[in-house]
Structure 1
């Protein structure tokens, strides 16, 4: 059985898919009532599953008419993907950011689930058994090279 966080995430993604502008505005309390949970559960889902690394921008306004706006950030066209990869990864990248980028590419259907699993395995801290900051530098080089090979035709 799926947990409440998975259900909330799935619901929000369905709302985003149905949106013409690729964005939704929600009221935290209304969503909490819909799923019979506390509002902090909504905050948890949004802060962990709708991050910039995963391809989302979140904006919130507090107060009486407050809302949370979630917007999907589309990856650039394939012809500019190399620049996007180099800019996103840079000279070093931690495991969380690397996994976020892999997730974003998978969600955009630019890589397969199998490719995503291979990428995650290759850039994991267990595979790259080096001390920091060398590990993050090696991860960036590996990830950049593999993604360019996969995506740039």
Structure 2
């Protein structure tokens, strides 16, 4: 696999062999680079408090295939390495009682599914809740 930057090479060095193989499967550099970067950053964050080097953080796949902390330090800690801001917006909308769907390329489009009969007050409420959700999602991404 061709590595474009020193940062990408550094990120790859913290990954398991299976994750390096998975990263190599991405054809486009724009799609390939975020995968090892996110997982490397996750390992650095999870290893920081107990003083464990990033490449020694024991990550395993849970029953749904999502990464989870393994080994003797396994806890109820939950994390997500998704790179879609739309998922964060969707989660924030749901916390406010607004159900939206994701679609488009890579699930990056937020879709509203209003009833056929909707009043102006409801439209204003949806706009307000969606605005709050976007601001909350932006704050999480900083």
Q: Same fold (TM over 0.5)?
A: no
Higher relative contact order at CA 8 Å, sep ≥6: structure 1 or structure 2?
1
Q: TM-score, normalised by structure 1?
A: 0.21
